[in-house]
Amino acid sequence: MLTTIYVSCNDPDYYFGLRPVVEAFPNAKVIAKPATVDAIGGNVEGKLAVWGPQLKDNGPQTLAGVVIPTDANTLDFEGNSIEIVDVPDRHDRRYLWVPSLEPVFGGVLVSSASMSGSPTRRRPKRGRLREGAK
């Protein structure tokens, strides 16, 4: 059972396709950090104007077709609180931190090679990423 959908970035790649997922899982909540929600709200109409004609039936055509996430700073998974942590100096980039288990999930930070520990960057001392979690 899908209970939560986390939108990690304000790019339409991350939220334009949510309508069929939400229809398939109507009880799932869609969340994002407040800054991401604000950024989506601030640029969604422009994104619709550009991408609607190109996506046609494969994407939203009106604002009503776009699923806008609700504000959240944490999510829960099997009794574990997962913190959505801002990365200093990285606009709209975050990672997930599970304090009880101590893993970091990097999302777009990893795929864009901007997360510490990626092969293209020098690995920082342990604890550097956690500074943003406090």
Cα(133)–Cα(87) distance, rounded to whole angstroms?
9
Q: How far, in whole angstroms, is CA 9 from its chain's centroid?
A: 4
Say how many C-beta atoms besides its own lie within 10 A of residue 116's C-beta: 18
Domains identified in the chain, total number: 1
Greater confidence (99 vs 124) lies with 99
CA atoms within 13 A on the CB side of 13: 4
Please report which confidence band the pLDDT of residue 118 belongs to, taking 50, 70 and 90 as the band edges. Answer: very low
Range of the domain at 127: 4-133
Residues 17-69 have pLDDT tens digits of: 999 999 999 999 999 999 999 999 999 999 999 999 999 999 999 999 999 99
35 touches 88 (CB < 8 A): no
Q: How high is the mean pLDDT of the chain? A: 83
pLDDT for residue 29: 95
Tokens matching residue 127: 């604890």
pLDDT for residue 120: 42
**pLDDT over 70, % of the chain:** 78
Name the DSSP class of 10.
S
Type and span of the H or E element at 52: helix 34-55
Please report which confidence band the pLDDT of residue 111 belongs to, taking 50, 70 and 90 as the band edges. Answer: low
pLDDT for residue 34: 92
Greater confidence (129 vs 29) lies with 29
Instruction: Give yes or no for residue 130 having a pLDDT over 70.
Output: no
